[in-house]
Chain A
């Protein structure tokens, strides 16, 4: 099946620093990727939609200058949390959309394993 990886899986940083999270589709090309965040015992909340070669579309209430998204290739999207603060501590999950024709399980989105960010 489709595999989406994230790196790092866990990161601890000091307040005020920036953290970059990578999301890769390993065996398929993804023109569209999504970034979510999830707080403990809560559901996933969509942050932004990332399209290869164009600017990301952010959900209402998500600061685009704080959460920088770059989708430079068909297999890689990055989320950079700039000037991180303790309230940014969360579980960040990416997903990649697979169109039909690439894999048997086409026309759906597959999720990465997530990145646990802790800001001290």
Chain B
């Protein structure tokens, strides 16, 4: 299982773009990268998932370089409600090949007014 490394915490002002980088040097060929958001006393919420290059959805963008040894979650114009812990997960999620994933420490994002 690919191990992930993220900054423990980050602070950002409201309205700014926030980029959280995750390192996964041992990522395997069939591994995908998934990011989750977790608020206190709630289950993690799916944000975005990708395999390579760039993925964008309604809430975030995910940048993955060619070597796939890292990935960056980009949150545009954060608000106070984005204060949460963000987890980067790496694993083989293909149908029939799904493997358990290991949660790292996550990044606690604090948005400041």
A residues with a Cβ closer than 8 A to B are: 1-2, 4, 6, 32, 34, 36, 43-46, 49, 91, 93-95, 97, 99-101, 105-114, 116
- A107 touching B45, Cβ below 8 Å: no
What's the least CB distance linking B66 to chain A, in Å? Answer: 22
- A32 touching B98, Cβ below 8 Å: yes
Question: What total of A-B pairs shows CB separation below 8 Å?
Answer: 63
Band of interface residues on B: 20 to 34
B residues with a Cβ closer than 8 A to A are: 32, 34, 36, 41-46, 49, 87, 93-96, 98, 100-106
- A113 touching B42, Cβ below 8 Å: yes
- B104 touching A43, Cβ below 8 Å: yes
- B95 touching A107, Cβ below 8 Å: yes
- B46 touching A110, Cβ below 8 Å: yes
What's the least CB distance linking A90 to chain B, in Å? Answer: 12
- B43 touching A111, Cβ below 8 Å: yes
Given contact pairs A93-B44, A99-B98, A111-B43, enumerate 13 new A-B contacts (beta carbons under 8 Å): A2-B46, A4-B43, A34-B100, A46-B102, A46-B103, A93-B43, A97-B93, A97-B98, A107-B32, A108-B49, A111-B45, A112-B43, A113-B43
